Amino acid sequence: MASHRMLEQAIELMRAGKKDAGARMLNIVIKEPDLPHPFRATAYAWLAESQDDLNFKIGCLNRALDSDPTNQLIQSRLNSLLAIQPQQPNQVVQRPPTPQNPVRQNSGYDLPNMVLPDSQPIDVIKPNMSDSQPIQPISITPPDDPWGMPPQPAVNQPIDPRQSTGQFPQTQPPPMRSTGTFPASNTPNMGDSQPIYPPNLPNPQGMPPPMQQQPKYRLQQTPRVVGIMHGPNGTGTGVFVTSDGIVATTRYVIGGDEELVIQLDTGQEMPAQVVRSYPEFDLALLQVNAVLDKVWPPSQVPIVADNEAFTVVSFTGTSQRGYKRKSKSQVAPHWIQTSIDSTQVPDAGGTAIFDSNSYLLGLLTRNHSRETGLTYGLHISHIYACVNQYIYDRQQNPNAGYCSSCGSMTYAQHFGGYYCETCGTVLPGFEATVRKLMKSPQLLQVYGENLHRACPNCSARVGFHDGHCLRCGYDIDTRQNTPLNRRT
């Protein structure tokens, strides 16, 4: 397509510093009526870099996000700019993200990972004493990257002399520690940050005080696994994935609960709060009010080889040997097809998988093949990708809540909403509330109900699916309502 080539040329011009020429070409590309949405989003993202004006950049990124609402990188870039934009009265501090799989890139257009200055990826050091170089975490970089996103200028470069400061906690990675039996881990010092409540927003009702405000318990040793107690499906297993107390286990273990108990191998129990879960990966993250020097070293190999042996270790004390089985069916690389039968899983899930060198390979889930009954594990690199995404989201939105129904972070209650903007369920703390109709502009934006063009039939701006209005079903292609098909 000619528009593809033109977009490619425009990006080359922008990369070469020829912003005027690049912008002219991008404006031509954007006007192409048949341009696919991800292309349009990419074009707007590059156009944003053609000028230094903050409002211009924000406008371009908003249009980019309109074209590709699921693009997490554009979302996060826009939020960064909104955060430093001088606030107007009643202005939304940031554009709430479109809830999506945190790892998935915009479809067909793979963008390089962004690292913002205020967040640090999790570093883990190999236990080999002779290698003192820090190992970078596995970054899930999709294989095809026809056009990259423009590099984001560092936030501390003066885009606007009226930058606000103190909006987010300043994080410093803890100092590198000498390796002992286990490697040190660098994590954002999020655990010590105080939650910042914007002055115009009340503390959300019904939400427990953040764990960060309570004194932390220091673990003397890094446990290999921990027990997840009192879950709806029985005892499960988890592992610490950050030194400030985030534990990973499976979604099945925690079910729809928001608070559980962690048990160490010493028998000590600690309360744990579910902060995020990913039902599509059967993963859940819990925050424990504890710190530890190091986490168990994760495997650095992104894909487990066929027939590679491993050991699964449950908090119940059971350990089993298994291997990565070869399978004809294609599954996503974050799933490890194991040789362990689902009937042999010793607990509710979250059983830790260790390779032959005792690196953490992943967590065993209770998901299994329908044909063979053999279970799937979730690869540790994917777990850390989700952890990184959660940490970043938390830094951007320290007051976001957790929806136990769908596992998402939710921002609705800060704008007076009662329902999760991802799944619509009534949020914790509001079940017994007399819920009145709320229609603030910020809330409409959170629910995404003022972002779409109006339906020609009913005028609602709630969006379309498959060409049909989400409210009245009007088909914008055939320009008629769908007849009722009964008794199909």
Chain positions contacting another protein, by CB under 8 A: 418-419, 421, 423-426, 435-437, 439, 444, 447, 449, 458-462, 470-473, 481, 484, 486-487
Q: Of 162, 84, 159, 72, whose CA–CA distance to 118 is shortest?
A: 84
Q: What's the closest the beta carbon of residue 94 comes to another protein, in angstroms?
A: 20
* Choice between 195 and 473, CB closer to another protein: 473
* Choice between 383 and 412, CB closer to another protein: 412
Question: With 0-12 CB in 10 A as exposed, 13-18 as middle and 19+ as buried, what is 240?
Answer: buried
Question: With 0-12 CB in 10 A as exposed, 13-18 as middle and 19+ as buried, what is 330?
Answer: exposed
Q: Where are the alpha helices (DSSP H) in 264-379?
A: none
| Cα–Cα dist 249/241, whole Å | 10
Q: What's the closest the beta carbon of residue 471 comes to another protein, in angstroms?
A: 5
| Cα–Cα dist 246/45, whole Å | 34
Q: Which helix (H) or strand (E) holds 285?
A: strand 283-288
The pairing of strands 290-291 and 217-218 is parallel
* Choice between 292 and 455, CB closer to another protein: 455
Q: What's the closest the beta carbon of residue 438 comes to another protein, in angstroms?
A: 8
Angle at 113 between CA 286 and CA 20, to 5 degrees: 145
How far is the first Cα of the chain from the last one, in angstroms, to the nearest whole number?
Answer: 41
Q: What's the closest the beta carbon of residue 411 comes to another protein, in angstroms?
A: 14
- Residue 285 phi/psi, 5-degree rounding, is -115, 130
Sole residue written with tokens 């031509």: 28
Those residues whose C-beta lies under 8 Å from the C-beta of residue 461, and which sit 6 or more positions away, are 449, 450, 451, 452, 453, 454, 455
Residue 337 token pair: 């097809």
Q: What's the closest the beta carbon of residue 404 comes to another protein, in angstroms?
A: 14
Q: What's the closest the beta carbon of residue 412 comes to another protein, in angstroms?
A: 10
* Choice between 266 and 459, CB closer to another protein: 459
Q: What's the closest the beta carbon of residue 484 comes to another protein, in angstroms?
A: 5
Q: Which helix (H) or strand (E) holds 380?
A: helix 380-396
* Choice between 264 and 472, CB closer to another protein: 472
Residue 246 token pair: 């985030």
* Choice between 270 and 476, CB closer to another protein: 476
Q: What's the closest the beta carbon of residue 410 comes to another protein, in angstroms?
A: 12
Q: Of 280, 199, 268, 275, whose CA–CA distance to 244 is shortest?
A: 275
- Residue 122 phi/psi, 5-degree rounding, is -80, 125
* Choice between 325 and 461, CB closer to another protein: 461
- Angle between helices 2-15 and 37-48 in degrees, nearest 10: 20
Q: What's the closest the beta carbon of residue 304 comes to another protein, in angstroms?
A: 38
* Choice between 99 and 183, CB closer to another protein: 99
* Choice between 218 and 439, CB closer to another protein: 439
Q: What's the closest the beta carbon of residue 446 comes to another protein, in angstroms?
A: 11
Question: With 0-12 CB in 10 A as exposed, 13-18 as middle and 19+ as buried, what is 439?
Answer: exposed
* Choice between 49 and 421, CB closer to another protein: 421
